Structure 1
Amino acid sequence: MSSRARVIVMNSALGPLDYRVPHGMAVEPGSIVVAPLGPRQLLGVVWEEDRLKSEHVGDNRLRNLLGVADVPPIPAPLRRLVEWTADYYLSPLAAVLRMTMPSSSALEGQKLVVEYRATGAVPPRMTPQREQALERIGDRQGLVRELATIAGVSDAVIRGLVKTGAIEGVEVDLDSPFPEPDPDHAPPELSTDQAYAAGILQGAVAAGAFEPFLLDGVTGSGKTEVYLEGVAEAIRRGEQSLILLPEIALTEPFLKRFTARFGVEPVAWHSGLRQSQRRRAWRQIASGQAKVTVGARSALFLPYKKLGMIVVDEAHETSFKQEDGVHYHARDVAVMRGRFEGCPVVLASATPAIETRAQVEAGRYRELKLPGRYGPAQMPAIEAIDLLAEPPERGRWIAPKLVTAIDATLARGEQVLLFLNRRGYAPLTLCRTCGHRFQCPNCTAWMVEHRLINRLSCHHCGHAIPTPRLCPECKEEESLVACGPGVERIADEVAALWPEAKTAIVTSDTIWSPAKAAEFVARMEAGAIDIVVGTQLVTKGYHFPNLTLVGVIDADLGLEGGDLRAAERTFQQIMQVAGRAGRGTKPGHVLIQTHAPGARVMEALVSGDAEAFYAAETESRRDADAPPFGRFAAIIVSSEDKGEADTAARMIARAVPEVEGMAVFGPAPAPLAMLRGRHRFRLLVHAARSLDVQDVIRDWLGGLEWSAKVRVAVDVDPYNFL
């Protein structure tokens, strides 16, 4: 056992540091330790010395490690993934490593807490609030604060019920094992295509080797049932599985499907978990006891003991790309984790990204296709409404043809989904007297009106103000006018046209947790909602057999902005939302409102000819040497001082190295020239696929110095060009 250890401490500004291992302390690569740094104590992870360079320090100058956590070491495959991610995305090793340890409480020993549950006793004095609390709590158990939230009452009401004996405290071990899923609990009846694909995945799990798959199936084809059979095989072999979902709101519907298949819920991992839940999940995953984890992209960096399968559901989703901190793409990192772990990786999608399709064509990924919907369900009929020829009535946003279709659908007792990917009531508010426009003081963005909460909000930094009564510029009353529609405005129009219909608005403002998503699903399944007005949050994952009509209010919205993926994203988004229609025995119908029905993407949507659309998009990318045939990297320079940011950006541009196969554009003010109070300039690196652009950028920026007020971030393979 070595008497010294090389440690990555949780400080991104520092490289690896050497420490002395005190007598009697046992550490190994991956051990989580407490290390002194000046007067502070930092968490760190012991690393292999031959993989990290460090300035040699004599043994007599080393400080002692202070402790080692009583948890399994970070496994070698995860350490290799951390190294790869840091290298590929040009991020500090510590910043990536921090994602593997999201909670310091997970490193502490056994913990007992007191949770509370109803006893069935009736309190001597029953108030309306107490009655509501006991009714809503039912057989649930939790902390006082959690029960109060469930019941919609104050903490004091719950504590009062404890005093009366109607609620009692019970001691709970925070690290109690999760119930194990049963792979043979309720196996589904699979179609021929599903059974074939499931058999391939089960064989890949049994082989225990890295193999990436694209599970390409139309919406409603039963992709989930197929990859869950691969998960079942991993459970039988005592291995763990990871299923990544793009949205926290999708977690709850998925948990229901999983429970129906395996008899118990999987382990959930997302930002909505309490600290105690995160601790329990992390420890059970690290020990190997948690067999299936379902979570957001951050679940990718958890320390699984033995992964047998990784699934990335809705793998085309851009929300898998992290925009802050480490700019990684979970789809691509998932494939690399599968490579380091030696297990199959499944990318499931009805509308795969061009990058994924290119990997299939190159023979690197194996494609499994599900060309038809499961059972009697058929793909919906899709039709475009030319807004130039058939415009909505003045002051309205729903075209007459769509109004007629909604009338007929509601008359049949069926449900309608209206899609507009714009939150709030209106994207812009201005004064009709002086022309004043409400702009965020921290960002180059308009304030969005949210009438439901009577606020103007910035969707980039969160700045919000009460909706003013008069113009701040000319002081004129009743002069403010909302420009353009958001989902709230469409919901107002729906209420005016169909006052008897029960309407729900579904956005990240209204569905912010798995519990809220579960409530929405329950209302839809119970027929308590007739018309849903929603954003991209409703485009994927939901299965409502009575939803037969989808109306896309503004199909051209996603084509604005000059993004190289604009047409592809629009196609994916509308195909996904169209896929919500006709998923049961009743036929579905989709009406797309557009000003450009002749555009290639609109013609492809109506004809259903996805292959022709993708072929044309792929060819245009090839001609431009755009991804996946070339490479992009964005360098974003920002500062609260505009002059400092401009100076640093120009200095970086002057130092551009001459490298064959690489061009650098800029600097130029970013489209969002100010974000969260920081002025932003961008340089865009365009490189040949064969060029190791990370090494070039590392050497280029590594030789420069800029003001401490300036931040320079590098986004390799950017998805957001704002």
Structure 2
Amino acid sequence: MNRVRCLVLNAALGPLDYRVPEGMAVEAGSVVECPLGPRTVIGIIWEAERLPGAEVPAEKLRPLRGILPVPPLPAPLRRLMEWTADYYVAPLASVARMALSSGGALRGPATMIEYRLTGGMPERMTPQRQAAMEALEHEQATIRELAGIAGVSEGVLRGLVNQGVLEPVEVDCDRPYDRALPDFARITLNPDQEGAAELFRAAVRARAFAPFLLDGVTGSGKTETYFEPMAEAIRDGRQVLVLLPEIALTEAFLARFAARFGTAPVLWHSSLKSTERRRAWRSIACGDAQVVVGARSALFLPFPRLGLIVIDEAHEVSFKQDDGVRYNARDVAVMRAHFEHVPVILASATPALESLAMAENGTYAKIDLPSRYGAAELPAIRTIDLTQEKPGRGAWLAEPLVAALEERLDRGEQSLLFLNRRGYAPLTLCRNCGFRFQCPNCSAWLVEHRFSQRLACHHCGHETPPPATCPECGEPDCLVACGPGVERIADEVAELLPDARTFVATSDTLNSPGRAAEFVAMVEGGAVDIIIGTQLVTKGFHFPDLTLVGVVDADLGLEGGDLRAAERTYQQIAQVAGRAGRGDKPGEVLLQTRHPDAPVIAALADGDREAFYEAETDARRFAGAPPFGRWAAIIVSSEEEDEARDAAQRIGRARPDMEELAIYGPAPAPLSLLRGRYRYRLLINARRSAQLQDIIRQWLGALDHPAGVRVAVDIDPYSFV
């Protein structure tokens, strides 16, 4: 009898056995429909020997209901899913769900109806119709998606369809993408770039696992260097995956890619419409998609002919997923390359300490690009001591920085002010009674956003308009902003330099690839004099006329309990400093700080990266922190505070007593209420020799908790809130 083991996409269930009906042909990796109680669910056929399960008598097996019209998930991807589930102590079904993340892609070839503007006008114009027509210029999508883009109800758009303002268009859901041409344009590389590119090309031809750390200063041409092995893979009929840390970086990358290969790559990120996700997934699964550029979730797409993986800005914290399956895309990408037997390139100007350690012990081959491409030189960096050069009352920019901005404005050059804090002010309070505006769902203050006239929580998304009177004492016109955000810096610039054209660049204003493209076009076209931005502008952008970078608060990242604070601060400031002087004009970086002698700030000012990494390495070694030890976190949460605390204490009492582990907590999390759930944390510090995941599985597996309690495990945590 034909019995198969199936992984169903339900994390609460183990593997289930089914009978294969006569005439149905399945293999490991096949995506199938199977019965589960009265429902039909999706599952993946798995090798029985790799997925232990209870033996069910043959007469009790239920038959599979169908096989879905998609290629089987390749064996290297299945091995990656197993490794990810094991390493990150996550259910295999939760990992598998990421690989089948486009439900529409599983239903086979299809056409669908999308809508676009005809150029006609409605019989009666309303404000909603006017807004919709303006928002939908050059857009084509389903009614639901267009409603989301325009911010109106579907009923408004259906009224426009009835009046001929929107017309239906039948679309082939699986139309092919334009082909990338490996020899469309050749770029002249300098000797360092050419040497690195040839090593990468040879690795692609060898079709073997080969991890590289491409360590190049900002502006050294890392992207052009790894374009060459991408071209080699395309010539060989192989697929390429490029991971980027931010959607906002996509448009800048696309322009450079199109200039080199003659067309855009296939995109994969959360802002894609459902039809675009379906088309991309099916093209990737059948091997037609040549180059895929995506966020971390692209790592689990079903490539059948992968030939190269590139992780750009490999040090970025945003490669770490902080909910669901808490994986680090940088590390999982290296493991996918291992299972696929392909090279992987980690590119960064400020590599993570863990990556440098892997290079030092010979696991990664380290390739250096020590100088900028062409005539560009690294910018001069100097500090402004805010204890000596104090800004005026209610101001945040010191006189030397303001003078430097004026000088660039007079010369027709561009400047960038960096402050990693969105909104106008991080805290709003009543000057009469001291009332502070706090999120009702999180233990966090509401951040004032004056551009959009709202108070917002940056953790759960809760928003409310600023009230006319204090909710506590009823005093009118009494709200005061405490501390600066980028919007407040923009107001200060407008007062000091009224003729300067500014642009505030944050995830609020660059929340889609299209808006990011508009921003790039404005800056490149000379329509912006001063950019005021958050970490979104620290990487990926190349503006030749930008010659000054001012860091408003270089000490900001050192605050709080982040165990990687010094490294993150160094990386962030070094990256934003790298935006200056990327063309023929020399660049300058000014760091406003109250602690100019702090090791991080001093290393940045001296341009002594090695001294910083050496000091940070010694500190990590002393603390048994990564890469010399292991960290893991256990996060316990519930909608009831008592329930969360009791569950955390039960876990704490059951802790293993082992010499190779130090376990701290449980204690309330720094962000003790998040999205309506009370949170407690335990932190584990383990020696490298400890079988950490097995220990955690045995520890937690012996405990039961109320239904409302969630227990999450975070291996190699990056967030400690």
TM-score bin (small chain): over 0.9
Report the number of matched residues: 720
- For residues 493-517 of structure 1, the C-alpha deviation after alignment (integer angstroms, 9 at most, x for no partner) is 1111111111111111111110110
Q: 1:532 to 1:124 in 2, by over 3 A?
A: closer
Distance 2:422 2:653 in 1: 41
Structure 2 residue 620 is matched with structure 1 residue 602: no
RMSD: 2.3
1:12 lines up with 2:11 in the alignment? yes
Instruction: Please state if 1:484 is matched with 2:502.
Output: no
Match for residue 345 of structure 2?
346
Q: 1:54: which partner in 2?
A: 53
Please identify, of 596-605 and 448-457, the stretch whose mean Cα deviation from structure 2 is larger: 448-457
> Displacement, 1:648?
1.1
Letter aligned with residue 416 of structure 2: L
Cross-structure match for 1:687: 686
Q: Deviations over 1:666-688 (max 9, x none)?
A: 11111111111111111111110
Shift in CA distance, 625/70, structure 1 to aligned 2, threshold 3 Å: same
Aligned partner of 2:527 in structure 1 is: 528
Q: Which residue of 1 aligns with 2:302?
A: 303
Separation in structure 2 between the aligned mates of residue 327 and residue 170 of structure 1, nearest angstrom: 40
Does structure 1 residue 269 correspond to structure 2 residue 268? yes
Distance 2:121 2:463 in 1: 43
How far did 1:478 drift?
Answer: 2.1
CA distance in 2, matches of 1:477, 1:406: 38
In the alignment, structure 1 residue 232 sits paired with structure 2 residue 231: yes
Partner of 2:517: 518
Aligned equivalents of 1:139, 1:683: Cα separation in 2: 51
Note closer, same or farther for the CA distance 1:15–1:406 as it changes in structure 2 (3 Å cut).
same
- Measure, in 1, the Cα distance between the counterparts of 2:152 and 2:18: 52
Matched residue, 2:665: 666
CA distance in 2, matches of 1:469, 1:525: 41
Q: Which runs of 5+ in 2 are unaligned?
A: none
Q: CA deviation at 1:111?
A: 1.0
State yes or no: 1:444 paired with 2:443.
Answer: yes
Superposition deviation, residue 526 in structure 1: 1.1
Letter of the 1:79 counterpart: R
**Aligned equivalents of 2:652 and 2:291: distance in 1?**
48
Aligned to 1:87: 86
Deviations 1:49-105 (A, max 9, x none): 001111110110111111110110010000000000000000000000000001211
| CA distance in structure 2 between the aligned counterparts of 1:528 and 1:153, rounded to whole angstroms | 31
**Matched-pair contact (CA < 8 Å) for 2:145–2:273:** no
Residue 141 of structure 1: CA displacement? 5.1
- Amino acid corresponding to residue 375 of structure 1 in structure 2: G
Post-superposition CA distance 1:420-456 (Å, at most 9, x none): 0001111111122221111112211111111112211
Q: Does 1:325 pair with 2:324? A: yes
User: C-alpha separation between the residues in 1 aligned to 2:147 and 2:17?
Assistant: 49
Residue type of the partner of 1:648?
A
| Most deviating of 163-172 and 71-80 | 163-172
Report the 3-state secondary structure (helix = DSSP H, G, I; strand = E; otherwise coil) of the residue aligned with 1:397. coil
Q: Deviations over 1:453-485 (max 9, x none)?
A: 221111111122211122211212222211000
Task: Provide the C-alpha distance between the structure 2 equivalents of 1:608 and 1:471, rounded to a whole number of angstroms.
Answer: 49
Q: Deviations 1:354-392 (Å, cap 9, x if unpaired)?
A: 000000001000011111111111111111000001011
Secondary structure at the residue paired with 1:369? strand
The aligned amino acid for 1:59 is A
Structure 1 SS opposite 2:332 = helix
1:113: how far off?
2.0
Q: How far does residue 152 in structure 1 lie from its aligned partner after superposition?
A: 9.6
Where in structure 2 are the equivalents of 1:288-687 lying within 5 Å?
288-687=287-686
- 1:186 Cα deviation from its structure 2 partner: 0.6
Deviation at 1:562, TM superposition (A): 2.6
Does the CA contact (< 8 Å) of 2:204 and 2:308 recur in 1?
yes
Change (3 A) 1:199 1:401: same
Q: Residue 222 of structure 1 aligns to which amino acid in structure 2? A: G
Q: Does the CA contact (< 8 Å) of 2:213 and 2:364 recur in 1? A: yes
SS in 1 for 2:652: helix
| Matched-pair contact (CA < 8 Å) for 2:122–2:160 | no
Following TM superposition, the consecutive aligned residue runs of length 4 or more in structure 1 with deviations greater than 3 angstroms are 114-119, 121-170
In structure 2, distance between residues paired with 1:470 and 1:442: 22
**C-alpha distance 11-151 of structure 1, shift in aligned 2 (>3 A):** closer
Q: Which residue of 1 aligns with 2:277?
A: 278
Deviation at 1:134, TM superposition (A): 9.3
Distance in 2 between residues matched to 1:653 and 1:343, nearest whole Å: 43
Alignment of 1:90-169 (within 5 A): 90-115=89-114, 142-143=141-142, 169=168
Q: Which amino acid is 1:51 matched to? A: R
- For 2:616, what is the secondary structure of its paired residue? helix
| In structure 2, C-alpha distance between the alignment counterparts of 1:299 and 1:187, rounded to whole Å | 28
Q: 1:153 to 1:675 in 2, by over 3 A?
A: closer
After superposition, where does 1:171-186 map in structure 2 within 5 Å?
171-186=170-185
Query: Matched residues in 2 for 1:15 and 1:131: separation?
Result: 53
* Distance in 1 between residues matched to 2:166 and 2:10, nearest whole Å: 45
TM-score (norm 2): 0.96
> Counterpart of 2:69?
70
Secondary structure in structure 1 of the residue aligned to 2:547: strand
Q: Tell whether the 8 Å contact from 2:122 to 2:165 is kept in structure 1 after alignment.
A: no
How far has the Cα of 1:143 moved from its partner?
Answer: 4.6
Shift of 1:168: 5.7
**Aligned CA distance change for structure 1 residues 72 and 217 (closer, same or farther; 3 Å):** same
Equivalent residue letter for 2:218: T
* Aligned-partner residue type, residue 357 of structure 2: A
Pairwise CA distance, 1:659: 2.1
Change (3 A) 1:644 1:28: same
Amino acid at match of 1:175: D
Specify the alignment match of 1:254 in structure 2.
253
SS of match in other structure, 1:445: coil
Identity of aligned residues (%): 63
Aligned residue number for residue 21 of structure 2: 22
Q: Mean alpha-carbon deviation: is it higher for 442-451 or for 416-425? A: 442-451
- What is the TM-score of this pair, normalised by structure 1? 0.96
- Look up the SS of the partner of 1:372 in the other structure: coil
